[in-house]
A = this chain, B = another copy of it.
Amino acid sequence: MVNVAIMGHGVVGSGVAEILIHHKERIDNSVKDDVNVKYILDLRDFENLSYSDKFVKDFNIILNDGDVQIVAEAMGGINPAYDFVKKCLQAGKSVVTSNKELVAAKGAELIRIAKEKNVNFLFEASVGGGIPVLRPICQCLAANEITEISGILNGTTNFILNKMIVDNMDFDSALRLAQELGYAEKDPTADIEGHDACRKICILATLAFGKHVYPESVYTEGITAITLGDVEAADTLGYVIKLIAHTEKLNNGKIKASVRPTLVSRGSIISGVDGVFNAVLVNGDQTGEVMFYGKGAGKEATASAVVADIMDCAKHLKARKYLFWEEAEENYVDSSDNEFGKFYVSLKSNDYGKMKNSFSEILMDNEMSFVENKYQNTISLITQPISKKDLLNKLENFEDCEIKVLHTMC
């Protein structure tokens, strides 16, 4: 028998409990053992469940029960999850979690403890919900050197942008709709400001490149500044706007990492990722581009990924998975923003005539395509390939204009 404790009985935790209990036969058959939910930790009372007898309110009951070999952390946030997970690992229990905030902030320390104690610390559900991403990157692409990862990692912002693109809905209305449908929290900051996507790209970069990437080191820009005008101009220019998380290995041993609204060419497969769906594009030196796609959130999907990790732990109680990475040196994430590529530039001015003249003189040298919106006094364009530094230098000539610069990808 393998005994499991679940910490937290919210959306994910209750999903984990339901799958483990309602699909017990299927799971036991696959694991070839009796996978038993022994405890569920929650401060609240859950009296009318078929498994109400399993609830405990004291974490120490789980910690001190030597029969509990696997703990699923589904509380969310750093505290007390960090303290509890650390103590469980130190006590020789394997831990699985969907908590991206915890893994992004404390993963390096926790994986080190797991290694010392020869137990597993798995977190497939922390990126892409139920989409298999982390295990394929670590195992199936093991013979590759991963060079770059780009992803749509936050379903809420993708839903909002999609509503703006397809239904011409403004940002505020789309956000309200997302909240009504349960896709966005009452306080949507973590989603719309890009923090959630940032934690996930940190985890991906950490696993792909082998050194821990902390959220504070990643340039993060949300979607709150994107207007319907941007969405329409992008459409005319052949692009859709997506919140893209990106990381890339540099030749000097450092990496780049960012989260920012990005114009994605309509020809690319990732431009077709709509609604609450997520997608992760991985570039390997041998496989080329590989994409993983699916619903990135939701109770059942996320819970099923946690359960798959529990099953993996149950099958490998004595054979630790080869998952490990190190702390990075200082300035491992290159924070300079001097990229080379095509950029989206939007210029807005009350003196539209003057702006248009300067625009022709200064920016039209390379026959770029552009969109005029005389009603909103805006010119939007995609530049030819140019260094961002050179572009920003040129844009200094438009001192009276409101200027927006966004990155693009093919």
Q: List A residues at the B interface (Cβ < 8 Å).
A: 19, 23, 26-27, 30-32, 124, 129-132, 135-136, 139-145, 269, 271-273, 277, 284-295, 298, 300-301, 303-305, 307-308, 311-312, 315-316, 319, 322
Residue from B130, B144, B273, B308 in contact with A290 in the complex, judged by beta carbons closer than 8 Å: B130
Kindly list the 4 A-B residue pairs having the minimum CB-CB distance in the complex, ordered from nearest: A132-B140, A130-B287, A286-B304, A143-B307
A300-B287 in contact given A142-B311, A269-B293, A312-B139 (Cβ < 8 Å): yes
- Count identical subunits in the complex: 2
Q: How far is the CA of A300 from the CA of B139 in the complex (A)?
A: 17
Asked if A291 and B293 make an inter-chain contact with CB atoms under 8 angstroms apart, the answer reads yes
Nearest to A318 among chain B residues (CB) is: B319
Asked if A293 and B294 make an inter-chain contact with CB atoms under 8 angstroms apart, the answer reads no
Q: How far is the CA of A256 from the CA of B294 in the complex (A)?
A: 24
Residues of B within 8 A of A144 (CB): 130, 304
Most B Cβ at <10 Å: residue of A132, A145, A322: A132
Q: How far is the CA of A136 from the CA of B352 in the complex (A)?
A: 55
Q: How far is the CA of A312 from the CA of B23 in the complex (A)?
A: 28
Asked if A145 and B26 make an inter-chain contact with CB atoms under 8 angstroms apart, the answer reads yes
Nearest to A305 among chain B residues (CB) is: B140
A289-B300 in contact given A140-B135, A272-B272 (Cβ < 8 Å): no
Residue from B27, B269, B286 in contact with A130 in the complex, judged by beta carbons closer than 8 Å: B286
Q: How far is the CA of A27 from the CA of B131 in the complex (A)?
A: 26
Q: How far is the CA of A129 from the CA of B289 in the complex (A)?
A: 12
Asked if A19 and B143 make an inter-chain contact with CB atoms under 8 angstroms apart, the answer reads yes
Asked if B30 and A132 make an inter-chain contact with CB atoms under 8 angstroms apart, the answer reads no
Asked if A142 and B30 make an inter-chain contact with CB atoms under 8 angstroms apart, the answer reads yes
Q: How far is the CA of A139 from the CA of B301 in the complex (A)?
A: 14
The 20 listed contacts between A and B (C-beta, < 8 Å) are: A19-B143, A19-B286, A132-B132, A132-B136, A132-B141, A135-B140, A136-B136, A139-B308, A142-B312, A143-B304, A143-B305, A143-B307, A143-B308, A269-B277, A271-B272, A284-B304, A287-B295, A291-B291, A291-B294, A293-B293
